[in-house]
Structure 1
C-alpha cells in the first residue's frame, strides 16, 4: 500500500511532457488535479464526487477545465501516443481497433442513440466510441477514443451544434473511416507497431481492409461467416461481346463453407491463469471477394490472404482474414488473432476503475477530454507497474518484460510475464498534495 502511494507521488514529474504542451498555468494545475480525482478512491468519477474527494469548494473549475473549447487538447493526445510507444511500442506490438459503448439515459448527451451496446449485450441508449489500443505481450495502453455519431445526430446539424460538435465532424464518417484516421494520427506521432487487429465490425468492410493494405500494414480482422472468397487459382477473364465485363472462372463461396472441409487442429496460443488457452483452428489461402461487382452483387477476387477459422470449446465458430505472409504458421495466425482480447480488459479498467463512462456533461469537447484524461491515467498506472516489474526483475535476474524488444513474434513465450490487472492503487490516505496551489478562478 505504501509503495502504491509513493508511486502516485511522482505523478507531477511523470506528467511533465504533458504539462509542457498545455499553455496556461491554470491548465497545468487543473490537469494533475483531475487525474488525481480519476486515480483516487471512490466509486464515482464524475465531477462533483471528485471535487469533494479532492477537498475543493466546488466543481466549477474542474468543469471549466474539462469542457472548455478554448484550448486544443490535440498536443496531449500526441504526447500520450509517444508515452505509450515508449512503454510498449515496437515492431512486435499490436494496434487493436475496437468499439466501446457508454450507456446513457436521456437524449442530450452528444452522440447518444439507441444502438448496440457491448457492455449490455443488446441495443440500448448509449454513446459509441471507436477505440485504438497499443499493446505488446499482455500490456495494453489505450491511445485513442473518438465518438461515433449515428445518423440520428448527423441528420440534425442544429442538434450537433448545441452539443458543440465541430463542423468538420458533422459529415457522417463510418467507424472504419474514424479508425483509419486515428491510425494515421498515431503513425504521424511516431507510434511503432507490427500488426493491426480488429473484430468483424471493422473486418467486414472491404474498404477498411484495403485502407490497411494501402498503408503497407499487416492486419488480422474478424469477418462474418458468409464473407465470400475465391480459391487462389481463380482467373479473371473478359468474355467476348459488347459488354466486355470481367468475370471470374469460378463462383465465390462463403468462408464457413470453404473451411468446413479443412483439417482443424488444436492450437494453444498462451498460458492463462487457469491453464493453457486453446481452441481448434483451420486456415487456408484465399482471394477475398471484395473487388468490383461483376454480377448480382457478386464481387471480383481481390487480395490473396489467409482465411482462418476458430472452433471454440463452446461449439461457436469464428472467422478471420489476415494478410500475414504465406509462410505464417497456424500457431502464429492463432496467437495474432487472439491478441485482440487485451483491449477488452483495457476497456473494463477504463470504465470500472477510472470512470470513463462517468462523465455527466453533454458536450463533444467534454466527453473527448474526459476520455483523454482516463487514457493518460491508464498510461500512468502502466508506467508504475512496468517500472516496478523491472525493479523486481533485476533483483531476481528474471526474464525481461514483454514490452521490451526481446519478444520476437506475436506468440506469447511460455515464461512470459502476465502483469496484474490494471487497477488504481487502493488508498487509505489522500492522494499526495500538488506541488502548486489550487488557483483562483482564471480563464483556461
Structure 2
C-alpha cells in the first residue's frame, strides 16, 4: 500500500504537536541534545518520503547527522519505558473517549538473519513459516482513533543464548516468550501495575492452549478482558432450566449455534467509513475449559461467551470470551470491534511513520525506534485528523437487552 504524503500545512501542524510533546514525554532524557535528536527523528518519521531509515531521515550529504541519529537510536542507553508510560498518560488525557487497550500482532519479514529476534518461524497471521521478526503492540483505542503505546519483541530461543544475546545487546531480563499471549499478557500486567493508568478492558486474540493461563492472569489482577477465540475453543455450561445437569463441555461454535433462537440484531457503522453492517449476537454464561493437555482452571472463573453471525450467514463466525458480566452483548461486541479501528490506524498511520522500517541490529535500537514511531503516530493523528468514522450502534436501531442470567459451571 502506497504511503500517503502529508501536505505541507499538515506537516507543519504535526511538527507543532511534536514540539509540544518533547518536554512532557521525554522528561526522562536528562540531556538537552538527546531531546533535540528525538525531535529530529520524530520530524523525520513524519516528513521523510519512502522508507524511514536513519540514512533517509538524515538526508543526503549529512553524514554527521546520520552518525548522531545512529548513536541516539542504536547505542545511547536512554530508557524507553518512561517515554512510553508518559505517552500513554498523555493520550489518556487528550484522546477522545478511550475505551480499551487492544493488542495487535506485527510481523516484519526479513531477508537476512542479523536483525534482532529474526528467525524462521510459523506465523499464524500469515498462515505459513517465514523469516521474520514477530512483535506486538498494545494500543489505546476509541471509536475515533487508536494509538500504540507499548511494544514487545518476541525472542525465539536462539536469541536468548549467550552469543546472540551479546551481539544484539539483549538484557538478561528479556525472556523468550510466545508471540501473542505471553508477551502481551506480561506487558498488560506491567502496565496495570506500574503505569498509573485507568483500568480498561483488554481486547486481544488468544489461542486455546494459552486461554486458561491468560484468563487466570488477568482475573487475578482485576483486569477486564474481551478475548477473541476460535470456534473450536472448548467451553463448559449448564443447560438453562436444568440446574442439576452438566456441566457439559462443547466447542464454542456448537454452544453459540444452540443459542440461535435468542439472537438479536445490532446495526453499526464500520470504522473508517459510513458503511452500515448488521450483526446478530447471542450470549451465554460459561467457563473456559482447558485444552486437551491443559490443567483445569482453579478456581473456575465465570465468563460470558458472545457469538456473532453475519446477517445472512446460518452459522456463527466470530466468538469472544469476556469477564465483563455487567454489559449487554452489544457493548462487548463493539469493544471487540475496536480491533478493526487499530487495524485501520496501523495501516494508514503507523506504517506511514515507519514502524516496520528499522534496519538496525540491536535490541535497544529496535525499542527506541518503536517508541519514537509511536510518538510520531500520535502526533500525526492529533495534528491532522478530525474524528472519523467509528464503529457504533446506529441510533434507535439496535436491540440487545442484557441476556437473562443462566446457571453455569465452568472448569
Which TM class, normalised by the smaller chain length? 0.7 to 0.9
Question: Structure 1 residues 2 and 221, CA, compared in 2 at 3 Å: closer, same or farther?
Answer: same
Q: Distance in 1 between matches of 2:371 and 2:236?
A: 43
Q: Distance in 2 between matches of 1:150 and 1:162?
A: 15
Q: Distance in 1 between matches of 2:75 and 2:395?
A: 48
Aligned to 2:185: 180
> Which blocks of at least 5 consecutive residues in structure 1 are unaligned?
238-247, 390-400, 416-444
Aligned to 1:205: 211
1:14, distance to aligned residue in structure 2 (A): 2.9
1:41, distance to aligned residue in structure 2 (A): 3.4
Q: 1:47-103 CA deviation, whole Å, 9 max, x = no partner?
A: 11111169555521111100115332222122112112122376x621011211111
Q: Give 1:338-353 correspondences, 5 Å limit.
A: 338-349=337-348, 352-353=351-352
- Conserved 8 A contact 2:11-2:46: no
- Conserved 8 A contact 1:160-1:170: no
**Bigger Rg, which one:** 1
Deviates more, 1:366-375 or 1:223-232: 223-232
Q: Give 1:211-290 correspondences, 5 Å limit.
A: 211-232=217-238, 249-263=246-260, 264-271=263-270, 273-290=273-290
SS of the equivalent of 1:307 reads strand
Q: 1:138-192 CA deviation, whole Å, 9 max, x = no partner?
A: 31011111101123433x3321221111111145466433223322343322222
1:314, distance to aligned residue in structure 2 (A): 8.7
SS of the equivalent of 1:129 reads strand
SS of the equivalent of 1:356 reads coil
Q: 1:255-314 CA deviation, whole Å, 9 max, x = no partner?
A: 1111222124432233552521232322211122249x9xx8684682221111122369
Deviates more, 1:55-64 or 1:354-363: 55-64
Q: Which residue, out of 131, 139, 153, partners 1:147?
A: 153
SS of the equivalent of 1:168 reads coil
1:319 aligns with 2:326: no
- Conserved 8 A contact 1:265-1:280: yes
Aligned to 2:168: 163
TM-score relative to the length of structure 2: 0.81
Q: Which residue, out of 99, 113, 118, partners 1:112?
A: 118
Q: Distance in 2 between matches of 1:204 and 1:319?
A: 16
Aligned to 2:3: none
Q: Distance in 2 between matches of 1:157 and 1:202?
A: 32
Q: Distance in 1 between matches of 2:40 and 2:60?
A: 11
Q: Distance in 2 between matches of 1:384 and 1:277?
A: 30
> Which blocks of at least 5 consecutive residues in structure 2 are unaligned?
1-6, 397-411
Q: 1:26-53 CA deviation, whole Å, 9 max, x = no partner?
A: 2121111111110103111011111116
Aligned to 1:368: 367
Across the aligned residues of Structure 1 and Structure 2, the Cα RMSD in angstroms comes to 3.3
Q: Distance in 1 between matches of 2:310 and 2:100?
A: 23
1:339, distance to aligned residue in structure 2 (A): 1.9
Aligned to 1:99: 105
Q: Distance in 2 between matches of 1:131 and 1:306?
A: 26
- Conserved 8 A contact 1:103-1:117: no
Aligned to 1:354: 353
1:374, distance to aligned residue in structure 2 (A): 0.2
Question: Structure 1 residues 66 and 323, CA, compared in 2 at 3 Å: closer, same or farther?
Answer: same
1:135, distance to aligned residue in structure 2 (A): 0.9
1:20, distance to aligned residue in structure 2 (A): 2.6
SS of the equivalent of 2:217 reads helix
Q: Distance in 2 between matches of 1:202 and 1:381?
A: 37
- Conserved 8 A contact 1:81-1:143: yes
1:16, distance to aligned residue in structure 2 (A): 1.6
Q: Distance in 2 between matches of 1:96 and 1:194?
A: 10
Q: 1:204-249 CA deviation, whole Å, 9 max, x = no partner?
A: 5211122111121221111122222221479999xxxxxxxxxx95
Q: Distance in 1 between matches of 2:281 and 2:60?
A: 51
1:202, distance to aligned residue in structure 2 (A): 8.2
Q: Distance in 1 between matches of 2:166 and 2:312?
A: 47
